[in-house]
Structure 1
Amino acid sequence: MASSRTLYCYSLIIISVLFTLSEATDFLVGGKINAWEIPSSPSDSLNGWAEENRFQIGDSLVWKFDGAKDSVLQVSRDDYLSCNTSNPIAAHKGGDVTVKLEESGPFYFISGAKGHCGNGQKLIVVVLSKGRRHFYGISPAPSPMEFEGPAIAPTSGASGLVVLRSGFSGALIVFLVGMVL
């Protein structure tokens, strides 16, 4: 039988994981600064990065790019597919852009710079309702490709930078581990 100290440690780990899963997350688009650019090949599409991440209501997308040369337009599905920049849902300029994802479903983003969208500078993000983030045995979100239409070749291992906005779970873990030790 496990000692009470061991059970206490396991309980703390489970609680900290649950807190972490419920926190809102800021996702740096493409996993790096200046990822908002024309991809060098179809396999470098930002949609590959989006497929590797799970987005929930309350999370935010963060773009870091040269605002003098480009912008981020949130558009409808039809405008995404046709690269229509004339009727955006929202236009974000300035280079440091944060978009909070406030509802579930697909979100469509294209570059506002002339010709960039047609050359692949666009992004679909599928937002899950709370509590469905991919985690050990829970099914992942539908692929953004299901919403786009034409297929895009899969990407090779682009990793995303995920930054938790709230430090509560980290502080709780440090505090509780300190109590046990």
Structure 2
Amino acid sequence: MGGGYYSKRKIGGIIVAAVLLLFGSETAVMAAKHVVGGSSGWDESTDFNSWASAQTFRVGDELEFKYSAGLHSVVELGGESAFKSCDVGGSGLKSYTGGSDTIKLTKTGTRYFACGTSGHCDQGMKVKITTVAADAPPTSSTTPTTSTSSSTTPPAASSSSSSSASSHHLIQFNMGSLVLIASSLIATSLLLP
């Protein structure tokens, strides 16, 4: 009789652990952190058109702007008109000046960012980010682009840069999911005789 009790407990523990792992992995949406501009970061020398076209931005992902504070900034613009005209003064929704700023992509749609330093946006230091649903497949039709500039990268170079861009597409688990997985493994080991 004792063996049957432990067998039922063991099976019950395994089922609980499996359910927790299943739901834990569902809540651990694989969000990506996109370092804007890749290894070059948020800088005038970066071709943001090529960088952005090699990315798929999903709801839940994060943009990380890395730059020299004081030399650059990040301004989220109100719309495409402000983006095209580099109107960083009057139409800015929010400004960032910390040098390492993270912006979460919380909904589908298009957002526009530019450097607030005088003349930098006109030199191409701006990016248009189009965010798709978290479960949308990665396709070139849903990837964002920036406005064209005189130094547009040819398509062949853009596709060859996608492998280096994907190295910046880091998979992150949220902390709650890791705790859930760890606790389910502990619970399973405690239930075993």
Query: Structure 1-normalised TM-score?
Result: 0.68
1:31-50 Cα distance to aligned partner (Å, 9 max, x none): 22x521112xxxx5212111
Does the C-alpha gap of structure 1 residues 129 and 141 become closer, same or farther in structure 2, counting only changes over 3 Å? Answer: farther
Question: SS at 1:113's partner residue?
Answer: coil
Match of 1:80 in 2: 83
Partner AA of 1:82 in structure 2 = S
Question: SS at 1:119's partner residue?
Answer: coil
- Whether contact under 8 Å (1:70, 1:111) holds in the other structure is yes
- Aligned-pair CA distance for 1:116: 0.5
- Whether contact under 8 Å (2:132, 2:142) holds in the other structure is no
- Whether contact under 8 Å (1:110, 1:122) holds in the other structure is yes
Partner AA of 1:162 in structure 2 = H
Gaps spanning 5+ residues in structure 2: where? 1-21, 186-193
- Aligned-pair CA distance for 1:112: 0.7
Distance in 1 separating the partners of 2:72 and 2:104: 20
Distance in 1 separating the partners of 2:94 and 2:154: 28
Match of 1:163 in 2: 170
- The count of aligned residue pairs is 146
Cα RMSD between the aligned structures? 3.0
Query: Structure 2-normalised TM-score?
Result: 0.64
Distance in 2 separating the partners of 1:119 and 1:131: 35
Q: Percent of aligned pairs with the same residue?
A: 24
Q: Map 1:104-115; keep pairs closer than 5 Å.
A: 104-115=108-119
Q: Are 1:30 and 2:34 counterparts?
A: no
- Aligned-pair CA distance for 1:148: 4.2
- Whether contact under 8 Å (1:22, 1:131) holds in the other structure is no
- Aligned-pair CA distance for 1:143: 4.1
Match of 2:13 in 1: none
- Aligned-pair CA distance for 1:141: 3.9
- Whether contact under 8 Å (1:73, 1:112) holds in the other structure is yes
Q: If each structure's helix is expressed as a fraction of its own residues, which one has the higher value?
A: 2
Match of 1:54 in 2: 56
Partner AA of 1:53 in structure 2 = Q
Following TM superposition, the consecutive aligned residue runs of length 4 or more in structure 1 with deviations greater than 3 angstroms are: 147-155
Specify which of 65, 68, 91 is matched with residue 67 of structure 2.
Answer: 65
